[in-house]
Structure 1
Amino acid sequence: MASGKRENEVQGHGMGDQIEQVDAMVLQYQNQKLIQQLEAQKAEMHALEGKFKDLRDKQISYDNTLIAVNKMWNQLVDDLVLFGVRAGGELRCLQALEHEDFSIDDALASCPPEEIFLCRLLRSGYVDKNRGSISVKAVQEALSLRHSAIVDLMKHLQEAIAARLARNELLASALHGNLSSEDAIVQLRNHNGYLREVISNMREAIDVVHLKHNRFTDEISCYIDNHSREQSEIKHLSGDLEESMAELEESRRKLVILQMQKHGPSFINASIGIAVNGSISLDKPADKTMSWRELKDSVDEAKGSNFLSSVLSPFLTFSNAPSLLPTTQGAILAVINAHYAFEKPYQSHLRLKQRPHAY
């Protein structure tokens, strides 16, 4: 009975191990499937990011083109309005001189990103809240309204020019004696009143233009002030950055010195790359038979650098004996070679190689 129980227990353990192996294989298979799905999603995400970047670049190009076209369009409207005033037209068209600034994005905050172009084109930030987008009918109505406004300005200018030509013909007839004296006097008086009205209208138009000029001047002054302030902030931040870099360099040097003082000469071969910004390769072994006097002379020549003196000072105090261990000799010579490779790449290195060694 006991042996049967043992066999049952062994079979039970075997079945449990097989179930665990099957579970592990299932989990591994599911993990592989999940990894494949994750990789596919990553690829799709990268593709969508590329498409989004392309669309964003196109939108920026469209927006820049639209801003340039609107500037020229607004200039055309201003010219038509001012020409109409000079021709003796009414002042009702002066309201057309007030244009919206299409380079300001705050007025377009209500527009979704994909419809900013249409919002700028329609000179409106209105979006249908029920549909969440601009309808085709609204686009057509806005374009029709803008087109009709330009047509009205053109008609107003044509009417003003026609009225001016008719007045000039009557004045020419009066001056050439084609009219009676009474009619000529009436025409001159009428023309005098007309000129007074034209002058008054031109003064009002000039006042409007002056207001726009003052507004633009204030905006330019604000921009110049902001630019100067930003430049001063950049200069201040640059100074802070330089100070932080200097403090970081000093802290790095102190850290190297403290680590070498703590670990001794065994640390220098690992930290010498850090001491010279990680740009020096110290594969060449030091001469183990160099005498203390020659090594001391090399150290004295390299004491021109404060950093090198601070690095070597713990080893000079630590190794004051005439005969140094080979590892200590190699460590000090490695510091010297690293210093010359970092600051004086060739001259001092050649002097060290030409100096005779003591055997």
Structure 2
Amino acid sequence: MIEALALSKRHGSRLAVDDLSFTVPDGAVTGLLGPAGAGKTTVLRLAVGLDRGSGLVLFDGVPFAALPRPAHAVGVALDARAVHPGRTAGGHLRALAAGAGVPRRRVGEVLERVGLVGAQGLRPAAFRRGAAQRLAVAGALLGRPRALLLDDPFAGLDDDDRGWLQQLVRRHAEAGGSVLLAATRAADVLGCADALVVLRRGRLAARGPAAELLAGAGSSVLVRASDPGLLAAAVLRWGGSVDPLPDGALVVSGLDMAAVGEVARAEGVALHELSLRGADLDAALQSLELPETALVGTRRGPGRTAQPSQPALDAQPVPDAAPPAAPGAPAVTA
């Protein structure tokens, strides 16, 4: 479990983070959302002691600086390009493993996990953005940590890499881990986040289960189906509203994506597309002002709240996500 308690940080005269508190329970992915300059990176840097401020971040009840083997408890990826230019991808990970007290054999395991086996001998300077992010995530996974902190890993990714990363963090949470995932765009985390923490100018704008916040932001669902007419009639019976588009797609309001999927299944209608839609979802989330309540994500998989007295993390590691299908060729460019 990750607990942020009254975090504050100033950069000169500017208050970068202002009295921020939230909790990421085990078994959950939490999206830390906000535009550039909202304070997301500062929160992550405060969590691992790279910035100094007031407040505290606890990992299973222990501050990062007090963890006896930090890489075995917390996996961190803050900058995908923070790689020595003279090292290969494998060399970079071997250096990280040596510093963290991780066996060298783990390097091959994490490279396979992120689909970069064929890129082990290549220099990361030649990587495209998706491959660089995969390498950064591999470094975060080296110690089999329970908690993951990832800073805007979706920036610049194509759809394949975005889907891969969403699947990886989702499975890490389902194995009992906790994931704090900073992102600039809400659309990047909607496929994997249980809960959202929305920042505006360093202050908490909203927090809570993702489905509730999205409903409050007025989001709708875009659907393309094999029988739009049949699906539209069923949605109306279930209490939703439907706005047909000229190309045959439907915009559904009043039901979330899960409910629309259930309606389609009950009616035997095949879905070709099911996605969230909004004129400006990020702006809508930023405008929300919700009560100060504890953040508890809706868990989709097995997870439990870890106690400070639990056995050492390396004695009971969180299993890695099952490897998604690796791309047909190494995810690099010459």
- TM-score after normalising by structure 1: 0.16
Q: Which has the larger radius of gyration?
A: 1
Work out which structure has the larger RCO, using CA pairs closer than 8 Å and 6 or more positions apart in sequence: 2
Q: Which structure carries more helix by proportion?
A: 1
Q: Which structure carries more strand by proportion?
A: 2
